[in-house]
Structure formats: structure tokens, C-alpha cells
Amino acid sequence: MSFFDHRSIFFSVLGYPMSYLEFFGTLAGGIAVWLSARGNIWSWSIGLVNVVLFFFLFYQIQLYPDMFLQVFFFVTNLLGWWRWAHPHPGEENRRKQLKASWMKPSITAIVVGGMIIATACFGLFASRLHDMAPSVFPLPSAFPYLDSFVLTTSIGATYLMVEKKVECWAAWIVADVVATYLYFSKGILLVGLEYFAFCIIAAYGLWQWSREAKLSMS
């Protein structure tokens, strides 16, 4: 079997078959998120490996919105890498990279409202994919609306992360809680455990970036 086939097993642990896709995708994702919480610019490059592997994994287990999300992540990893390395004048931290900051409440409200509307729209689209393109999506989307919520919340969180807004970590916590449930439900246990760990890392990131934002204002 191919490396990119989720049935291609790397090893088994406690009777659980671990595919190459799940193991290496999870490993790259864990490193990338930890580096993001630390404000390390290399998170973006390692994240590219994660999203490519997860694209193939999520397609094969019918988490189609999550599959589409990886395409978005691929583009934003490139954009985020560039944005952090090239801050505008006055946006630099001590490492000459973009510094963390908070959003205005009005912008926060717009972002949250956009996520809710986008979830409803994309959930409806995902629920009909197998009817619109049965040759590409032969099986129905497993969790069209919950998976779409993860997609839209992650898109919002990623946009805020590219701009290095503290609130991105609150969005990540919400998305990761729902994603943890989805991945355990679909039987990809290592990915589910990783996203549970992401909830903790996101809480750390919220604290770390809040501290950096306060220091930059003092």
C-alpha cells in the first residue's frame, strides 16, 4: 500500500493500528502547534508537512470539511511565515518579528458572527457533497455541520494567528475541543489525543501571547 493510504500501517500499539499518515501528520502538527504557542516562526514551515498528510487522511475517512481546511492551512502557512518574518514598522518584537496584540471588541464580534454564518453555509454544502460529486465523494460526509464548525473556527483562528492576535488561542480552544470529539468518533485515536493536547497548548498560547501583548504595551 502507498504511504498516503490510511490503511498502510506503520506499527501497532496496544492493538491499535497506526498508519504512516496518522503518525507523521500528528507528529508534525504537534511540533508546529507547540512552536506557535512559543511564537516561533518555524511553526509555519513544519505546519506545511502536517497539512499535506492530513489532507489525504481526512479525505479517506470522510471528514471532507477538514480535508478542505488543509488546503486553506497550506496557503496560510505560507502567508503566516511571510507575515511574521516581515512585520510593518512599529509591529516588531525584540526578535524583529510581528508582536502579539489584542483585537478591538467590534472586530471580535464581526469575526464570531462570520464563523456562525459560514458554519451553517458550509455544513449544508458538505452534507450534499456525495450527491453533487459522487465520483469524488462516494460516501456522505461523516459530521457535516460539526466538521464545518471546526473548519470555519479554524479559518478564523488562523487568520488571527497570522496577524498575531491573542484571541486566536480562544478560537483554537473551541475548535480543538470539537475536533477531539470528531476524531475519537472516527477512530483516529492518536489524532484525537493530539487535539486534546492542543487544547492544553492553546491555553498556554493564550497565556503566553497575553503576556507578550502586555509587555509590548508597557
Distance (Å) of CA 126 to CA 15, 65, 185: 33, 7, 18
Measured CA to CA, the distance from residue 179 to residue 181 in angstroms comes to: 5
Q: pLDDT tens-digit profile of 193-203?
A: 989 999 998 99
CB 16 within 8 A of CB 53: no
For 118-154, give the DSSP string. HHHHHHHHHHTHHHH-TTT--S--SSHHHHHHHHHHH
Q: pLDDT tens-digit profile of 19-50?
A: 999 999 999 999 998 898 888 889 999 999 99
The CA R_g of the chain, rounded to the nearest whole Å, is 18
Q: pLDDT tens-digit profile of 99-152?
A: 889 999 999 999 999 999 999 999 999 999 999 999 989 999 989 999 999 999
Per-residue confidence band for 85, with pLDDT thresholds at 50, 70 and 90: confident
